[in-house]
Amino acid sequence: MTESQEQQAPVVQLTAAPEVTGDAVVDLRYLFTVWLKWLWLPIFLASVGLYDGYRDIQAFTPQAVASIIVAPIGDTSNSAATGVTGIAEQFGFQFGPRSTSVSTFLRLKMMLRSVVLAEKLQEQHGLLQILFAGSWDEAAQAWVRPTGADFEQDQRRREFFRQNLWSPPNYESLANYLSGALVFEVISGSPFQKITVSHGDGEFALWLLTTAYFGADELLREQAKVESAIKQANIEAKLAVETNVQFQDALRGLLVMELGREITRDEALPYAARIIEPPIINNQRTEPNIQRVLGVPAVAYAGGGFFLTTLIAVFRRERRKT
């Protein structure tokens, strides 16, 4: 390095870190002293939390659980058709959009929370009048707005916070109810899934589970029939005007595949999943989670008590300094 470069080199000055004085920290000995002095406050608040949890346990109503165990059926139609459709696409034909395949069982889960299923169940069973019987006037055959001080207070609160007010139940209301009522649970260590419905009446829970599940399965089967018929019509129309021999073979292969799916679609078998265990009513009803109902509020209330005690300690320290 030359003499001129040494003169131009920047000079880095190191500054000492700011000194932390005793006023910038809280003495832990003082803090522990305050905690011991005010220990009764977290204990009292924890007792309040336990009492709230105890009230929740007393108000808990056990419900019957209906369940069904199924094994999702893999959707292999796309992989089976890859070779034939690949040949067809080389000639500029495409049978349907290119998209990520969705398993039939996932479609079933979406169908169980759909408005389409809700409309079908309402037409067949009048499920809205069963689930929302308190708002239905059988004599007038019309929905009645609930009354009472608690309801009116809730409506005023919702109006203040710009939330939706009460409206007569509709298909969307039924779809939302089914979405919350049917619970899917993957059985650990297996490909099986358990679907459950909880209700105070075990027989109704079993009926709702059976009706909703098999209704959704049947809707998927009907949709598959319509889609297959449309595909067959399109293939036959293209086959009637196509003169290329190689492409005719590809179209015939696609037509055979569609016909094969239609023939093997047994009406007596479930469409989206195999039934491993048919719908049953479980022997045991639901029970409260003791650790969650009692432990969570007790720990939360006690933590709030310690936080409040810490604020008191800091506040007193600041007052002494002034």
Tokens in use for 52? Answer: 């709230």
For 294, which DSSP code?
Answer: I
What kind and span of H or E run contains 254?
Answer: helix 245-264
Please check whether residue 136 is in contact with residue 144, taking contact to mean a CB–CB distance below 8 angstroms. Answer: yes
Please check whether residue 67 is in contact with residue 282, taking contact to mean a CB–CB distance below 8 angstroms. Answer: yes
pLDDT digits (tens, 9 = 90+) for 163-204: 999 999 999 999 999 999 999 999 988 889 999 999 999 999
CA torsion, points 211, 214, 216, 219, in degrees to nearest 10? -120
SS3 164: coil
DSSP 30-45: HHHHHHHHTTHHHHHH
Query: What does the mean pLDDT of the chain come to?
Result: 82
CA-atom Rg of the chain in angstroms = 34
Residue recorded with tokens 């936080």: 307
Going by pLDDT thresholds of 50, 70 and 90, the confidence category of residue 75 is: low
Please check whether residue 241 is in contact with residue 171, taking contact to mean a CB–CB distance below 8 angstroms. Answer: no
End-to-end CA distance of the chain, in Å?
A: 58
pLDDT of residue 76: 46
Burial of 16 (0-12, 13-18, 19+ CB in 10 A): exposed
Tokens in use for 144? Answer: 């009645």
pLDDT of residue 252: 80
Query: Where do the H-state alpha helices sit in 69-137?
Result: 77-90, 104-111, 115-125, 127-131
pLDDT of residue 233: 83
Please check whether residue 197 is in contact with residue 66, taking contact to mean a CB–CB distance below 8 angstroms. Answer: yes
Among the ranges 87-96, 145-154, 195-204, which has the highest mean pLDDT value?
A: 195-204
pLDDT of residue 201: 94
Average pLDDT for 73-92: 51
Going by pLDDT thresholds of 50, 70 and 90, the confidence category of residue 19 is: low
SS3 197: strand
pTM for this prediction: 0.72
**Pairwise CA distance, residues 235 & 233, whole Å:** 6
**Pairwise CA distance, residues 261 & 138, whole Å:** 46
Measured in degrees and rounded to the nearest 5, phi and psi for residue 267 equal -65, -25
Going by pLDDT thresholds of 50, 70 and 90, the confidence category of residue 79 is: very low
SS3 221: helix
